[in-house]
Amino acid sequence: MASIASAAATKIGKCGIDFGTSACKVAACNGESLSDLDAKVIVDPMGDFSIASYVAVDDEGGYVVGNTARQQMERRAKYTVAHVKKSLGVEGGTVSLVTNLGKKVVVAPEKIASILLNQVVSVASEGEGVDMKNAVVAVPHGCSEARLKAMAETAKQSGLNVLQFISESSAVALAYGLDEETTEAGNYLIVDIGFEATRVSVLSASNGFFSVKHFKEIAGVGGNAMSERIVALCVRDFMDKHGKDLKDNGRAMLKLQAACEHAKHTLSVSTRAVVEVDALADGVDFRKLVNQASFESECSDLFTKMLEGIGATLKDAGLAISDVKNVLLAGGSSQMPRVKSMLAQVFNKPELEKETSGTVNPSEAVALGAARQATLLCMMAENNVEEIQKVVGGETNPTVMSLALTVGVEQKNGLIVPVFSRGNAVPASRTITLEHGSASTLKFYTGERPSAAGNFLLGMADVGEAKGSRTFTLSVDKSGQNFTLLVGEKEVNITFVGAVETLSKGDVAAHVASCASDAAAKEDARARAVADLNDFIYKVQESDYLQDIEEEDTEIVDKKVAETTAQVGAAGDVESITALLKSLTTCVDDILAEYDEEDEEEDGDEAFDGGDMD
């Protein structure tokens, strides 16, 4: 196989597709070598850079797609399917709409989505003058198997040959050139603000390679939520001015939602926007000026939640803000001045507030990265589509999954040492050393509590007793369910109890929510205090900490340790546990102080006896 640099890249039609919830984008690369690749989003005949994710039945019984379908939504809502992607991969999911003959029909989501996807491919083919039937399609990080199958069926029905599905995180990384050898090595943070959620990814890049290390989805913090805040502002304004509540008027709300979404887009590039709708309700025209300040005020809690989610992602990844080499933005809403300014301030990256001219347009990043991947695959396979499957190892789905909950190992003191944190990308491998040794059976748990008792038992492995430190390596495959344990160079069998497989999304959500509650916070704080106490007891009993004291004093310490241990169960709060630790520490310190005084006296006597006297 020839090298990438020498393989021509223009012999077959290939593109990158961002099949989004609210809109789709398609891009292609120009250039015949790795050094001159230039990806661009393909514009449709109307001059639009995106295709709205809408499909509607027209008066003739055919279908209209994209922006045309969206424009008729307010008049023909029952004939129109909005946000087509949302129905894909949903168990028992169907799409209902009314035909031009007034008959209600139920259609498979894949059928509707294939009509939209076919339009996307047509735009690409017309724009590039070649049949663009081969594509790399970007899907959300951790996309479910059901949705991937639905996407594959959608592509099949539309006649599209999917070269590869890649995660949106990887597509953004490719768009920003993290696969180039000239890219500085380090940790990169991707903030991708989508329609329904903000997705945060931590990537590590070095020498032309990158990998997704951590991922978190901040649900409910997306472009749609921002648009809805403008809608709420306008609904209140209409009520104040005209005494009418628009929320019960479906058609009026559709008109208002469309106008407010347009206003949101305007506010990403301007300090003010006008929401204007003729005959909004009962013949009343509506006009409202929304400035940047009022918009940011309405969305302040969303911005706060976004920052909290980013902070939690970095914490789970074990990174400080200073560890982030750069912040990469994706999604149209990431261009909001408030978003860019707060990220620039937090990460000390003033360049984030500059115009995107000459760099990657965040709203196009996913499509551009997918197009770059499509071109690279064709180069590597010398434009032989059949050979591409060999290049990607026979997989069209290398999407990165991540762990729903932290996976850790129990120490002797009952505290969990995290091995993989929640949101850790898989596959992954990590080596851990337990400084205080371990029991003959290593117990692995999944959950967010600091103590083993509050988490779910994952599995156990018999490894033999170890009084000193113990080092082991735990690996997890790309499914997030299969683990391998190495102690030294020997693989040790883990007996699983099925926690990863049996925990539902509801169980995970309930566990995470309970960990965030006040009661849970108190329990966790107490657990940490108990762990600190146990650490000190271990230091006293099982190390050389007290090796030089007399047997009589050793008995005093042992008695104090026994008394302290007996009182732990009855100590219900952090203050009580802290008091026990302080009392034990004082006892030990007082005894050690006596020996320090004796040593000082002996040193003084030796100095006196050895001195010269004239």
pLDDT of residue 59: 82
Q: Which alpha helices (DSSP H) does 39-142 contain, by range?
A: 67-71, 109-128
What DSSP state is assigned to residue 437?
Answer: -
Same domain flag for 442 and 341: no
The Cα–Cα gap between 493 and 461 comes to: 6
Do 377 and 418 fall into the same domain? no
Statement: residue 467 has pLDDT above 80? no
Domain's final residue, options 399, 428, 458: 399
Looking at residue 162, which CATH number applies to its domain?
3.30.420.40
**498: confidence class by pLDDT, cuts 50, 70, 90:** low
Domain that holds residue 334: 181-354
Question: What is the largest distance, in Å, between two alpha-carbon atoms of the chain?
Answer: 125
Residue 1 sits in the same domain as residue 119: yes
Looking at 485, 516, 547, the residue that finishes a domain is: 516
SS3 278: strand
Q: Residue 613 domain-assigned? A: no
- pLDDT score of 123 more than 90: yes
User: Residues 326-362: pLDDT tens digits?
Assistant: 999 999 999 999 999 999 999 999 888 876 545 789 9
Total domains, the chain: 4
Q: Do both 302 and 212 map to the same domain?
A: yes
Residue 524 lies in a domain: no
Return the higher-pLDDT residue of 41 and 5: 41
CB 88 within 8 A of CB 110: yes
Backbone angles phi, psi at 582, to 5 degrees: -65, -40
43 and 163 housed in the same domain: yes
**Exposed/middle/buried for 575, CB within 10 Å: 0-12, 13-18, 19+?**
exposed
Q: Is 203 exposed, middle or buried (0-12, 13-18, 19+ CB in 10 A)?
A: buried
pLDDT tens, residue by residue, 60-112: 888 999 988 998 888 888 889 999 998 888 877 788 888 777 888 888 999 99
Report yes or no on 529 lying in a domain.
Answer: no
What is the pTM assigned to this prediction? 0.72
Note whether 204 and 213 are within 8 A (CB). Answer: yes
The answer on 481 and 410 residing in a single domain is yes
Within this chain, do residues 218 and 266 fall inside the same structural domain, yes or no? yes
Nearest to 98 by CA among 75, 114, 68: 75
| Model confidence pLDDT, tens digit, residues 32-58 | 666 567 889 999 888 889 999 999 998
Rounded to the nearest integer, the mean pLDDT of the chain is: 83
Residue 393 pLDDT > 60? no
CATH code of the domain covering residue 505: 2.60.34.10
381 belongs to a structural domain = yes
**Residue 367 and residue 509 in one domain:** no
More confident residue, 5 or 466: 466
Share of the chain above pLDDT 70, in %: 85
Q: What CATH number should be reported for the domain holding residue 185?
A: 3.90.640.10
Neighbour tally for 52: CB within 10 Å: 22
Residues 190 and 74 in one domain: no
Strand partners, 199: 192, 217
pLDDT of residue 611: 47
How is 564-594 classified by DSSP, letter by letter? Answer: HHHHHTT--SHHHHHHHHHHHHHHHHHHHHH
pLDDT at 286 over 50: yes
State the pLDDT at residue 1: 30
Residues 71 and 15 in one domain: yes
CB 227 within 8 A of CB 257: yes
Helices 300-316, 223-242: inter-axial angle, 10-degree rounding:
160
Q: Is the model more confident about 149 or about 545? A: 149
200/319 same-domain check: yes
Q: Judge whether 521 lies within some domain.
A: no
Last residue of a domain, one of 346, 379, 399: 399
Could you read off the pLDDT of 24-39 as tens digits, one per residue?
999 998 866 665 678 8
Q: Are residues 24 and 151 in the same domain?
A: yes
**Among the listed residues 60, 59, 334, 298, the one whose alpha carbon sits nearest the alpha carbon of residue 190:** 334
> What whole-number distance in Å separates Cα of residue 339 and Cα of residue 396?
34
- Polymer length of the chain: 614
